[in-house]
């Protein structure tokens, strides 16, 4: 399975996912409407790699653009795409508390992931551990 890289992240598509589905799942800021290749709203610049269209799109695209709603990568691709603000906050927290990132255990993630997405789980655990650390150092961050 090909690796999809963006300006701030990288991921792999899961089975039956289009590029747009993968970008949405991983918190990227991509607008869309039809999800069928008609409107062109999801247009994204492709910086490297190649894609295959699942159905021939009707919307216009420049030579360096793709419509992620109706294609999948045929090799590793790099897209000119950034994360939504709420996902960027999570990255900022990781930079503020780098030691916290090594404190996740598989048990914590597995236990909590039954009702929440991995991103929600990781965000909650990060926030809880950051609060604990802040209270240890008498910091009033939250």
How is residue 11 written in tokens?
Answer: 């991921």
Binder to ligand FES among 8, 11, 32, 133 (CB under 6 A)?
A: 32
Binder to ligand FES among 4, 6, 27, 37 (CB under 6 A)?
A: 37
What is the per-residue binding string for ligand FES in 51-90, x denoting contact by CB under 6 A? --------x-------x-x---------------------
Strand partners, 53: 71
Q: Given the rule CB under 6 A, which of 32-40, 45-53, 72-80, 84-92 is the region that contacts ligand FES? A: 32-40
Find where tokens 């992240």 sit: 9
Binder to ligand FES among 35, 88, 127, 129 (CB under 6 A)?
A: 35
Binder to ligand FES among 33, 101, 117, 120 (CB under 6 A)?
A: 33
Q: Given the rule CB under 6 A, which of 2-10, 30-38, 87-95, 117-125 is the region that contacts ligand FES? A: 30-38
Q: Where are the beta strands (DSSP E) in 16-135?
A: 44-48, 51-53, 65-66, 71-73, 77-79
Distances (CA, A) of 128 to 80, 84, 101, 118, 134: 33, 22, 12, 15, 10
Give residues with Cβ within 8 angstroms of 30, minimum separation 6: 20, 23, 24, 42, 44, 68, 81
Instruction: Please state, in angstroms and rounded to a whole number, the distance separating the CA atoms of residues 68 and 43.
Output: 7
Q: Given the rule CB under 6 A, which of 29-37, 97-105, 111-119, 122-130 is the region that contacts ligand FES? A: 29-37
Q: Which residues bind ligand FES (CB under 6 A)?
A: 32-35, 37-42, 59, 67, 69
């Amino acid at each position: 399975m090909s690796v999809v890289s963006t300006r701030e992240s990288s991921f792999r598509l899961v089975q039956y996912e289009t590029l747009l589905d993968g970008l949405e799942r991983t918190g990227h800021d991509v607008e869309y409407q039809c999800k069928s290749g008609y409107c062109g709203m999801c247009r994204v610049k492709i910086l490297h790699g190649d894609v295959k269209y699942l159905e021939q799109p009707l919307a216009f695209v420049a030579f360096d653009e793709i419509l992620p709603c109706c294609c999948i990568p045929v090799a590793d691709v790099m897209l000119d795409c950034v994360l939504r603000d709420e996902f960027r906050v999570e990255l900022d927290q990781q930079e503020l508390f780098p030691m916290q990132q090594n404190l996740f255990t598989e048990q914590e993630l597995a236990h909590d992931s039954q009702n929440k997405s991995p991103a929600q789980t990781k965000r909650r655990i990060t926030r809880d551990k950051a609060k604990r650390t802040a209270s240890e150092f008498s910091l009033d961050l939250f």
